[in-house]
């Protein structure tokens, strides 16, 4: 792993420190009137999602972690595990749901995802900003249910329950935001 200076921090950069594998969310170079310059950072633990604040001296060297991104396609579920295929070399990989986190709420067969690897360990999953999923269970919509802002629970084909407007019916395909889990529109 190449050392990187705190002066060269960029948003999204991943570093390996004793607290764990961290991604820089925000940073600020500060040059006070007295004393030496320093860098104030906000970092997120890639594995747990915890956010920490750290202050480093300007020019301090830290180990940069090289994160490899690979395009993968979700093929099927084998028991509890999710089976993915690498789009470049067609190798198959079984991934436990604990590694995927909330991504399991939006994955259906033949969907694409970008897996982030640190060595051989999967440290994250990038999904498209929105996915289209079918509603498998919800109360029927009634003609005239057009009240602004009224919502009802609906179960998607992946098992995730979201809030949808009253006029949406079972069997309809909806677009869902993967970052927030919110209903966007009917498809």
Topology alike, domains 3-64 and 130-186: no
Residue 105 DSSP class: G
Nearest to 130 by CA among 174, 86, 163, 64: 174
The answer to whether the CB of 42 falls within 8 A of the CB of 51 is yes
| CA–CA dist 105, 138 (Å, integer) | 17
Assign a CATH topology to domain 130-186.
OB fold (Dihydrolipoamide Acetyltransferase, E2P) (2.40.50)
The answer to whether the CB of 73 falls within 8 A of the CB of 59 is no
Assign a CATH topology to domain 68-126.
OB fold (Dihydrolipoamide Acetyltransferase, E2P) (2.40.50)
Residues ≥6 apart with Cβ < 8 Å to 115: 69, 70, 72, 84, 122, 124, 125, 126
Q: Does the 3-64 domain belong in CATH 2.30.30.30?
A: yes
**All structural domains of the chain with their residue ranges:** 3-64, 68-126, 130-186
What does each of the 187 residues of the chain score in pLDDT, given as a tens digit? Answer: 678 888 888 888 889 888 888 889 999 998 988 888 999 999 988 877 789 999 999 888 998 888 888 899 989 888 888 899 988 888 888 888 888 888 888 888 888 888 988 888 888 888 888 888 888 888 876 666 566 677 888 888 888 888 888 888 888 899 988 888 888 888 8
| CA–CA dist 47, 92 (Å, integer) | 23
| Burial profile 112-132: b = 16 or more Cβ within 10 angstroms, e = fewer | ebebbebeeebbbbebeebbe
* pTM for the whole structure: 0.70
């Amino acid at each position: 792993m190449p050392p990187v200076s705190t002066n060269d921090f960029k948003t999204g950069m991943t570093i390996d420190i004793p607290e764990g594998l961290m991604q820089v969310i925000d940073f600020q170079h500060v040059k006070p009137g007295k004393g030496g310059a320093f860098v104030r950072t906000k970092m997120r633990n890639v594995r747990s999602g915890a956010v920490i604040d750290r202050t480093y001296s300007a020019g301090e060297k830290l180990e940069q972690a090289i994160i490899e991104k690979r395009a993968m396609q979700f093929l099927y579920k084998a028991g509890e595990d999710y089976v993915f295929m690498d789009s470049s070399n067609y190798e198959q990989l079984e991934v436990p749901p604990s590694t995927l986190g909330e991504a399991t709420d939006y994955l259906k067969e033949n969907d694409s995802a970008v897996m982030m690897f640190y060595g051989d360990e999967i440290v994250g999953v990038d999904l498209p900003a929105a996915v289209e999923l079918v509603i498998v269970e919800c109360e029927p919509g009634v003609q005239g249910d057009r009240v602004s802002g009224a919502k009802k629970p609906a179960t998607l084909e992946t098992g995730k329950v979201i809030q949808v407007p009253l006029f949406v019916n079972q069997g309809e395909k909806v677009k869902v935001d993967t970052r927030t889990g919110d209903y966007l529109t009917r498809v």
